[in-house]
Amino acid sequence: MKCLMVRQPWASQIADGSKTVEIRSWHYTHRGDLLIGASKNMAGQRMRDGTLYPSGMAIAHVKLVDCVPFNAKLHGKAAGCDRDTAQDCEDSGDWAWILAEARAIEPFAVKGQVKPFEVDYGGDAGRGRGRPPVAPTESPRRGDRLSPSSVVAPTNLVNVTYAQTGDSIALDRMGMREMQAKAFLARDAQYLLLKAPPASGKSRALMFLALDKLFNQGVQKVIVAVPERSIGASFASARLSAHGFFADWEVNDAYNLCTPGGESSKVKAFGKFLDDTAATILICTHATLRFAFDAVEESRFNRVLLAIDEFHHVSADADNRLGEVLRSVMSHTTAHIIAMTGSYFRGDSVPVLQAEDEARFSKVTYNYYEQLNGYTHLKTLGIGYHFYQGRYLSAIAQILDTDKKTILHIPNVNAGESTKQKHDEVNYILDAIGEVEKQDSATGVLFVRRKTDGKVIKVADLVNDNPKDRDKIVAYLRTLNSPDDMDLIIALGMAKEGFDWPFCEHALTVGYRGSLTEIIQIIGRATRDSPNKTHAQFTNLIAQPDAADGEVKLSVNNMLKAITASLLMEQVLAPNFKFKTKHPDDTQTPEVGTIHIRGFKEPTSMRVKAIVESDLNDLKASILQDSTLLKVLPGEFIDPEVINKVLIPRVIRTKYPDLNDEQVEEVRQHVVADSAIKNGEIKEVGDKKFVRMAGKFVNIEDLHIDLIDRVNPFQKAFEVLSKSVTASLLKVIQETIDAGRIQMTDEEAVILYRDKIGPFMQQHGREPHINASDPLEKRMAEALVYLRNKRRQQQAQQAAQANPA
């Protein structure tokens, strides 16, 4: 394998992924595997913060992706130098060697040469030794230290500004917030589905509803089921009468089953509760409810209110036991049911309820905009992303601001972004911040002295899965009452739903999360109202596809899904509008929040009206996650009307097979109009409002459904892609997606390449274009895409064979 010698400390920076461009004075044609050798620094050369790896050794394995003319603006930062002043440059040269997938290897001695040279290297496994990811004790570059001066702002897809009205947290004469009062109006419903954002007060809303059913509706007992024990504390006893309600919420400790202990004893306590005529309220986990349901007669649930918190855990799937319990109770008992969720998506792939069961629920929805607009402190919310290359640990320093109260979610060990060593990842992050001075034995809090300024910050490690250690830090986190009590929480599966840290300013999540429910739960950790913040931020740290990577298809898919998930969050977080048909003789000024559109079809049935009022975000999720629609995302030349009039109706028909063609069209127009308005920028000029659509501002009074149908709902995502990646990478992304929809044989591709493509390029001086109107040129372009994809697959297979896991 070829080896390139690089002086210290720059070799170490390449090894840990913080330096991704090497400047040389000569062009190099080799692409692929390359070893990095560390040579000593030149006498008198200004050193930085020190080195991590020994000199005179091969220390890292990288992929040489490309060799292009050096551009200071594009490559200077990645090369670790300021080309304009020649500071921190290892060499002055005209060529930028683009490196990716850096990983440390077990060092071995090499004799340096000026240019790349061959060494005998069979990989760490072949040498009988390996080296795990290294956690540096000193930051390899000043720019990599975790301090406000070095942190870059994420690229925000969504920026929402709120009015700070205070309405959503104000109490009425019965002590209810706005959402709770809205839910209480539906108190007589036997089956009630409450959808409201995190921190809106769903647990307190349940207390009001449950007490009314106990005192006024003939219900004798209340069973509250939560997904995990820690969330049970949200339903502890509360003196509601102190704020004007007619009764208090009182939980007997004997029937709070969200405590340590085995399920067998809890099932016995569950049965005892049903027998105890004086007992009215029980708190348990979803698991306890499932086990207890199997142990008692189903008739015991008659005249019982069954409240299920975090209802999105239920599924209509036959293998989902909680869903089966719910369906049985609804079919065979007189039980009342209140289902609560902070997610706006019934399910990410499987619906929560069968359609006939869901139709029996009365629905109360309090949207995210209502909640956040009614806060007193929070003014803005940003949802964005940050790309990284190589290992995510090398990019943490670029995006983690330790002056902001942050929850950092590292990837699951089964995710592609993970190093598979979650504890090593935590250690790397801690060492990059500074030095761990001590760990409090009573609370588990880590005290870390920051390298940049010596400030000591408090860190909670929730990745540590030792039960004793975890219980200590979890118990401490429940007692936080000041911003100074905690600075950074590092988690993997915890600190999501039900976790309350109002002071959190930044939710930083590594890797694409396939569940929209999980994303909105994580965002909810940062959107609590608190005096210490006016801005909340969610950032998704995602891998930038690498053109030389055999897994480029997976990276592209994950990146597109992450971007569309963020766009869907924008739909959830924006204010809601009502749409009505604009008639020629309309002269009245529309109500606030109502937009009249010419040619618009309003719902003509209760079924369509219910979908429009309650299911719109679910439908948008299905549309934005549709595999066919994802394939057109980077397609700058796709006709918007094909998306809006062909592809979107197909998703609607699949999701709602009971709708006729007229109803499908009514739903389609509503979802297309709602998406376009929420994606558009609205401006007021005098007494008129204008919305930006298809690149121009349109008077809202002149809107026509035909104009809206000409707006590409994915245009914003394409613009984000165009601005965030290089032209060559954007082409790879396009080709990767095109390859997935091209039907071609190897024989046809070879014939086209041999007989047609060469002469075409000689005649026209360019490659054939995949969007060409000429069928033959389009087919030739498809052949090129097909062959390049085949070559990437073969390279990936060869790499896998050369370096078996």
Mark whether 174 and 255 lie in a shared domain.
Answer: yes
Mark whether 308 and 206 lie in a shared domain.
Answer: yes
Overall average pLDDT of the 759-768 stretch: 89
Number of domain units in the chain: 4
In this model, does residue 273 exceed pLDDT 90?
Answer: yes
Determine whether 173 is exposed, middle or buried from the number of CB atoms within 10 Å of its CB (0-12, 13-18, 19+): exposed
> Is 675 within a domain?
no
Nearest-angstrom CA–CA distance, 173 and 244: 6
Mark whether 338 and 190 lie in a shared domain.
Answer: yes
Q: What is the pLDDT of residues 413-455, one digit of tens each?
A: 888 888 899 999 999 999 989 999 999 999 999 999 998 889 9
Mark whether 424 and 355 lie in a shared domain.
Answer: no
Q: What is the pLDDT of residues 232-255, one digit of tens each?
A: 888 999 999 999 999 999 999 999
Mark whether 444 and 540 lie in a shared domain.
Answer: yes
* pLDDT in the model for residue 730: 62
Q: What is the dihedral of CA 478, 482, 483, 485, to 10 degrees?
A: -60
Q: What is the pLDDT of residues 650-673, one digit of tens each?
A: 999 998 999 999 999 999 999 999
Closest CA to 29 of 2, 48, 58: 2
Confidence of residue 178 (pLDDT cuts 50, 70, 90): very high
In this model, does residue 554 exceed pLDDT 60?
Answer: yes
Closest CA to 137 of 427, 488, 461, 464: 427
Q: What is the pLDDT of residues 735-751, one digit of tens each?
A: 666 666 677 888 888 88
Amino acid at 204: R
Q: What is the pLDDT of residues 92-146, one digit of tens each?
A: 567 888 888 888 887 888 876 778 888 877 665 433 333 333 333 333 333 344 4
Q: Is 205 helix (H, G, I), strand (E, B) or coil?
A: helix
Q: What is the pLDDT of residues 774-803, one digit of tens each?
A: 878 888 988 888 888 888 777 777 776 776
Show which of 319, 349, 371 is a domain's final residue: 371
Pairing mode, if any, of strands 578-581 and 535-543? unpaired
> Is 359 within a domain?
yes
Overall average pLDDT of the 351-360 stretch: 71
Give the ranges where 333-392 is alpha helix by DSSP (H). 355-358, 368-373
Show which of 348, 371, 394 is a domain's final residue: 371
> Is 569 within a domain?
no
> Is 366 within a domain?
yes
> Is 314 within a domain?
yes
* pLDDT in the model for residue 741: 62
Nearest-angstrom CA–CA distance, 169 and 180: 10
Q: Which residues constitute the domain of residue 121?
A: 2-144
> Is 122 within a domain?
yes
Mark whether 113 and 229 lie in a shared domain.
Answer: no
DSSP lists the bridge partners of residue 510 as: 541
Overall average pLDDT of the 445-472 stretch: 93
Mark whether 140 and 186 lie in a shared domain.
Answer: no
Q: Decide if 210 contacts 280 (C-beta within 8 A).
A: no
Show which of 347, 371, 395 is a domain's final residue: 371
In this predicted structure, which of 126-140, 258-272, 573-587 has the lowest mean pLDDT? 126-140
Q: Which residue has the higher pLDDT, 721 or 691?
A: 691
Centroid of chain to Cα 608: 30
* pLDDT in the model for residue 373: 87
| DSSP string for residues in 158-198 | EEEE-----GGG---TTS--HHHHHHHTTTT-SEEEEE--T
Q: Which residue has the higher pLDDT, 484 or 9?
A: 484
* pLDDT in the model for residue 719: 66
Nearest-5° Cα angle at 657, 651 to 661: 80
Mark whether 52 and 135 lie in a shared domain.
Answer: yes
| DSSP string for residues in 256-297 | B--SSS-HHHHHHHHHHHHH-TT--EEEEEHHHHHHHHHHS-
Mark whether 175 and 256 lie in a shared domain.
Answer: yes
* pLDDT in the model for residue 476: 94
* pLDDT in the model for residue 556: 67
In this model, does residue 539 exceed pLDDT 50?
Answer: yes
> Is 285 within a domain?
yes
* pLDDT in the model for residue 148: 45
Mark whether 254 and 188 lie in a shared domain.
Answer: yes
Nearest-angstrom CA–CA distance, 363 and 727: 47
In this predicted structure, which of 48-52, 119-123, 333-337, 510-514 has the lowest mean pLDDT? 48-52
Mark whether 434 and 357 lie in a shared domain.
Answer: no
> Is 676 within a domain?
no
Q: What is the dihedral of CA 744, 750, 751, 755, to 10 degrees?
A: 130
CATH of the domain at 7: 2.30.130.30
Q: Which residue has the higher pLDDT, 554 or 455?
A: 455
In this predicted structure, which of 271-275, 342-346, 795-799 has the lowest mean pLDDT? 342-346
CATH of the domain at 289: 3.40.50.300
Amino acid at 453: D
Q: Could you tell me where the beta strands, DSSP code E, fall in 504-571?
A: 506-510, 535-543
Cβ atoms < 10 Å from Cβ of 479 = 8
Amino acid at 265: S
Confidence of residue 409 (pLDDT cuts 50, 70, 90): very high
Mark whether 175 and 301 lie in a shared domain.
Answer: yes
Residue with tokens 């761990």: 436
Residue with tokens 């060990």: 413
Q: What is the pLDDT of residues 73-90, one digit of tens each?
A: 667 666 766 444 334 444
